[in-house]
Structure 1
Amino acid sequence: MSAASCLLSEEQFLCCICLDVFTSPVTIPCGHNFCKDCITQHWNINSVQFRCPMCKNHFKTRPELRVNTFISEMAAEFRKSAGKKRNEDSVVAKPGEVPCDICTGLKLKALKSCLTCFASYCGIHLEPHMTAGPLKRHSLTDPVANMEARVCTRHRKTLELFCKTDQTCVCSLCTVSEHMAHNIAALKDEYEVRKAELEQEEVAIRQMIKERKLKIQNTRRLKMHSQEDAEREIADGVRIFTSLMQTAERDLNEIIEMIEERQKTTEEQADSFIKELEQEISVLVKRTAEVQQLSLIQDHLQLLQSFTPMNSALCTKDWTEVSLCLPSYEGTVVKAVAELEETLGREKQQLLHKARLKRVQQYAVDVILEHRTANPWLVLSEDGKQVWCGEGRRDLPDNAERFSLYANVLAQQSFSTGRFYYEVQVTGKTDWTLGVVRGSVNRKGIIPLSPVNGYWAVGLRNGNEYLTLARPVVSLSLISRPQTVGVFVSYEEGLVSFYDVDAAVHLYSFTGCCFIEELSPFFSPGLHHGGTNSAPLTISPVTPTD
């Protein structure tokens, strides 16, 4: 029975007189069904003629009414299932939920709002809108809290139009009064327009969120770099100052040792003088006693026979010109401090250069040359680690990535964030250029290699002219010839730096750069020059400086 009732619609169980589910349903001769009480009362009121309320069929005599047990059972089953549904829908409205406007006392939760009646209905009170013909034509929507907001306050009609001129919702009567000749659109059409605008705004907001998340990532990365830099700087500071203090302590110990040595020599000389003088004093005291004894002799002959001249009796030294030479310490400390300052200056610079180089070497990346970008005059090793200029131009396809005029080649790797570092051996070359370029750099035309055109590089010309490809070009005065050049880039800081790795010397830095594209390492070994510049540029593995 239950399965059968589920296949039938609610209208098939409604009495057309009371518009409710059949109660004791009866079937009259024309085949239509009614509640027994409903059809009986109907015929009692209209006793002159017995007509069917549905098809208007006339019966000569009043039909005998008997309950249709089959329909009664199905109606009972339907009423039971409908009642269960009502119980499920009969939920008390909670704070923030739209209550039913019809319920008295305890308000149930509204399931729908009627835009025609301007009221909200729970499951029980919504049923007429679902069954009655006129009510079924009403416009239902999801529960609306404030129905008054959907009604024109002046004309008490539904707000179903939108005035673009005044940017407000209006009813149909408003368009022939206050909003006459205004730009009026259907609420649905304006809804679609605004919805499209909201979708565009959502896309724009999502892009803004994406950009800000990227900014957060970059900021966090910079924060991490700052922390790492601070820790490394502290470690370098401790190491440098410890080394400088050790040097100062060593020099202090040396000057103390030198002063003590001089003082010791002076003390030994003084002790020698004192000892010798004390010995002579003992001899003189003894001679004094002898002289006193001789002076007591009264016999002339005896005195003359016993007398010995002082020069013969005494072996003494003439101390008139003898003196102790005190060592002079004047200027010793000043001179030592000056020498120490010079030593500390040299060591400090050397330690700072090594620390700076070691710091950037921690961002070493494995760089490999990209064959598709190489100028046809260039020859690359199979492992992509060496490049040199050949003696002839190779027949290669002129793709968009290849440099056609300049003897350049790029790396396979590109970077749009963070830091990176690599080293290149330039031994035996008289001409070379190294650095980084923008991804969109012109690879076909003749343009100056400068930051304005997307190049940040240094190079060697004519075997001894080191320069930076800035505008204007800056010459570099170097004490030694670099054999290995290190290249360091910090994307967010806008920094490109170059180092002489073997001497641990900073060569040059481009600062304040504004990078908005990917950067790629680039290499130019220079032309062959009849074999004088045939040596390759070699990307070498990075070994941290001791």
Structure 2
Amino acid sequence: MDAVELARKLQEEATCSICLDYFTDPVMTSCGHNFCRKCIQMTWEKGRGKKGRRRQRGSFPCPECRELSPQRNLRPNRLLTKMAEIARKQPGYQSSDLCPVHRELLKLFCQDDQAPICVVCRESREHRAHRVLPIEEIVQEYKLKLKGDMEYMQKEMAKTRRFQAEEEQRLAAWQEKVEARRQRITAEFQKVNLLLAEQQQQLLQVLQQEEEETMARLQGSKEALEQQGEALEMLLLQLEEQEGQAPLQMLQDMKDKDPLNRKKSVNVQYPETTAIELRTICSIPGQIEVFRSFQEEVLPDPATAYPYLLLYESRQRRYLSMATDGSACSQDRFLAYPCAVGREAYSSGRHYWEVGMNLAGEALWALGVCRDDVSRKDRVPKSPENGFWVVQLYKGQKYQPVVPALAPITLTEPPSQMGIFLDFEAGEVSFYRLSDGSHLHTYTQAVFPGPLRPFFCLGAPKSGQMIISTVTLWVKG
């Protein structure tokens, strides 16, 4: 009989057939069957109340064989008590505890195959030469390893909790720092806004004072001219009345009132022309520094440059390729003006670049942005209607700027350095004098019709130089 069958038999013999549990205080009937004392007594007590059953006084049927057994003949079974105790301590074996081949308990562990085996497997050829230990020893070693691992894990958990607490503290400190910085940023911007508001108020007061002074001069000149006009009109009416008189009367009046003396008595004065150019400039502190956060390196595209427009790259110390040898020019090259456009076209975002100028002699330049598809072969007015948003930079005496409907803005005192700020989504192109940060002009429209490129245009030869980033432009003489 194998170990499993033996264990099963032991459990079966130590089990009460009434409660189906291990015996507790087992007793034996006169017929030889065993039950728990409480189980058999409860069974017989229930049987007393049933009618129609044949029984002798003090005797009850056995639950197993139905033979009558006197209640007083119940005898304790001490051997069965010990068997029940042994069965309770005996572990229940399952199929996983048995060798699938020999149906014996798996009590050994093969270290070579890393598998549990039974005592029969140990003597087989397969495992005879292998290293084999009792499972209890392997389990003990494994428990020691587990204990070591558990101690390591406990230490790591404690370390992790410590780091977690430190990280929570760091997180709280970080949030406090961020909140303090957020409040500081808000406070500083409020401070700057307050200073800008004060600066704005001062600038508006200066403008208002200039307005009032110039308005007073213009109004005084206007009133003086009105009074002089009224006096001249009265004298003219007198002369016209005298002209209509009879000859003798006219001669008498000429004798009494010498017309020459009357003419001399009129003191005709004309006021000096009052300049209406504003002296108050629009300059916001720090605005150029803000624009420079959008600054990009804008470089003119040699492939679009006028054939006799020279481009010198200072970093590479060489002239950029030009078509001055009479060869055919590409369709992208400007032929009507000494112009060039930037290499990159803009169709979104904000962009800022600066241009230096060294004007010489008489010059008429243009600077700004243009549509990517402007005419490069024909001469057209450089105006928004034709795809140009530029300011002209004029220096000299011969050129007198005329302002027709489509003419660009002309500066008669061009700056040495200019900043251009393009806000594509806002539809604005603004120009600034870098020496004092003053605003020169802004073009505004609802939507730009397409991609824009930086635009650079020079005057005649020997008119000076234009510096864009690291490239210097001038017209070949």
Normalized against structure 2, the TM-score is what? 0.37
